[in-house]
Amino acid sequence: FRDAADMPNAIARYGTLEAQGWKAQEGTAIHPENAQGRFYTELLQDLAAQGEASVYEYLFGDQTVAVNLCVQRGSTLTILKTTYDESIKVYSPAFLLNQDMMQDLFAKQQIKRLEYYGSLMEWHTRWTENRRTLYHLTTFRNGVVKRLVESLSARSSAQ
């Protein structure tokens, strides 16, 4: 899905899968009704309006079993988030989704680089031995806000 109008329903399907797994138990699952779900819906809608967002789904029959939330800029596709139906993990639906997605994108020469956002995970290394370090930088226009965030971070780390 690449159309901005499709993003809310795509995030809802993503959230349905993620809410059934371990992330729901930890309280970190994306859902259309939580702040994280609203953030991703708005982000992907805005980027889709510029032709820079896509959601890839893998189906077993008519059932969504894996979803990738992606951003594409130029010839680079970044997979922001992946979820899958944990009740059928023996079939590796996320792996199958990535395999089909990559075959299609590279065959059409739509991308030259694929990146996974976040920490390197073992399953990322099944696709390539190449690695790249990403650095996260946070800047604040206001020094008071910076000190407040640092103070809150220090408190949560101490607990």
Which of the listed CATH numbers 3.30.70.270, 3.10.20.600, 3.40.630.30, 1.10.760.10 matches domain 4-130? 3.40.630.30
The tens digit of pLDDT for each residue in 136-151 reads 788 888 889 889 988 8
Closest CA to 98 of 128, 120, 74: 128
Angle at 108 between CA 98 and CA 52, to 5 degrees: 70
Length of the chain: 159
- pTM above threshold 0.85: no
The tens digit of pLDDT for each residue in 13-60 reads 999 999 998 888 888 899 888 999 999 999 999 999 999 999 999 999
Burial 108-129 (b: 16+ CB within 10 A, else e): eeebeebbbeeeeeeebeeeee
